[in-house]
Amino acid sequence: MAPAHRCSRIIGTGAALPERAVTNAELAQQLAARGIETSDEWIVARTGIRQRYIADASLTTTELGARAARAALQAAGLEPAALDLIVLATSTADQIFPSTACLVQDELGVAGAAAFDVQAVCSGFVYGLAVADAMIRTGTYRRALVVGAEIFSRILDWNDRTTCVLFGDGAGAVVLEAADQPGILAARLHADGSQSRILCTAGRVAQGAVHGDPFLRMDGQAVFRLAVNVLDSSAREVLDDARMRLDEVDWLIPHQANVRILSATARKLGMPESKLIVTVDQHGNTSAASVPLALDLAVRDGRIRSGQNVLLQGVGGGFTWGSVLVRL
């Protein structure tokens, strides 16, 4: 067996979005045709969302994931054949099986690397990053692709104003490489299955038909209360693990669910909102794609620079949550 590496580091980021951006005004017009009243003002006041990207009928989660993967590989200066591990986080897989990770591997035109999906809903990318880092630390793997890819628009009830205005589609990715200097500084993952019903899509396929409710359902107030508390506690856990002070964190990227949750999390941690990366206004809630989409945007626009410390956080259905502290 190869010698264990002490750590891994992110060497490239990438993102992909559907072509069509749907503004709140456009969405409100579409919902009005269904007899559902909403407005740009109502959505912005409650969520901070101004637009989201919606996939057309021909676009797949696999294709979005592969686009983000290619962008991350290009940023890393690598060809797909350099990968020996692919971890893909999604709740909206194109098929029951094989995994979307395997389908993305095929889209990239390579074979042989281990490939599997992680299902932790909106915490999925953080879970996937922690898993890939742990596998690299064993010394068995050297370069990993971690992708978060979602088409949530296909599991939304467009007659439910409390959920359909929140979500969008997209994908983000990073390439991890074994390194002697710290990159992934600390990671903590958690779940509480007793809270599964506050955010779920409970339907299932059996005997060729969908049984149960196939749409996303959410208790928004319960999610808000739980999300802020667990994001605060898991942030403090990884900082303790890394022996780092809160004021040493340069940027905070929580799951982009709702601007109120983002602001409340920063406030509870005592971090200035100037250190908060916010993309929910542009993308809506893209579930497992939200953290890598925000990371890629802030890397490419120059806010996040080499050597800075970034706290990545996920929270979502399961109920799942976790934090990964990264030095870029």
**Active-site amino acid positions:** 122, 255, 285
Q: Are 87 and 147 in contact (CB under 8 A)?
A: yes
* Pick from 154, 165, 164: nearest CA to 47: 165
**Which stretch of DSSP H or E encloses residue 276?**
none
Contact between 227 and 257 under an 8 Å Cβ cutoff? The reply is: yes
Q: 265-292: buried (b, 16+ CB within 10 Å) or exposed (e) per residue?
A: bbeebebeeebbbbbbebbbbbbbbbbb
By CB atoms closer than 10 A (0-12, 13-18, 19+), residue 166 is buried
Listed residue (307, 283, 301) closest to 293, CA to CA: 283
Token duo for residue 191:
């779940």
For residues 40 and 23, is the Cβ–Cβ distance under 8 A? yes
Q: What is the chain's percent helix, strand, coil content, to nearest 5? A: 40, 25, 30
User: Do 37 and 115 contact (CB within 8 A), yes or no?
Assistant: no
Selection from 204, 198, 188 nearest residue 322 by Cα: 188
Question: Are the beta carbons of 183 and 327 closer than 8 angstroms?
Answer: yes
Exposed, middle or buried by CB within 10 Å (0-12, 13-18, 19+), for 219? Answer: middle
H-state helical runs in 122-200: 124-137, 161-164
